[in-house]
Amino acid sequence: MKGVTYTEYDATTGLVHIVLKSPYSTHIPANNMTTFLQPRIQIWSADHQSYWTAAADYGQGTHGTDIITLRGHVVLHKPAEGNSPPTTILTEHLTYTNKTKIISTPDFITLIHGNTRLTGTGALINVQTAVYQLLSNVEGVYVPDKAETKVAP
């Protein structure tokens, strides 16, 4: 199918939970799987106060959006909220499990949050709480703003 938009609503609130767009997709009924080319996804929190976006070269949905797998130049982004800066996560593969609202990857990631840049292997990201857990080989760099690096006279 060409020009696909899939929207899923929260059964309790009726609010949009996931929007998945793809210029091209193929559904395989035998195993209830759909493949996507250049998927773009927006995942809302339960309270609808925040959301994540994800983009990749390829994607796959199993049983609708029960499990969404993205691969190839994956970019996961959470916009700034209040005093919290935006968060961007770069990796080659990730899996979103709709039931648990957890994004996971076994691969190398780069996480950029404001002035902080972390790298590591493997990650768990809770979409609802925005809590990130890097699993191994974690390294980090903090780059202060220019105003923070000035020495008082």
Full set of structural domains in the chain with CATH: 2-149 (2.60.450.10)
Number of Cβ within 10 Å of residue 98's Cβ equals: 19
| pLDDT, average across residues 92-107 | 94
Q: What is the pLDDT of residue 37?
A: 97
Instruction: Find the DSSP H helices in 18-145.
Output: none
| CA 127 – CA 144 distance, rounded (Å) | 27
Q: What is the pLDDT of residue 82?
A: 87
| CA 124 – CA 95 distance, rounded (Å) | 10
| CA 35 – CA 44 distance, rounded (Å) | 22
Judge whether residue 12 has pLDDT over 90: no
- The model carries a pTM of 0.87
Calculate the alpha carbon distances from 27 to 6, 33, 70 in Å.
Answer: 13, 6, 16
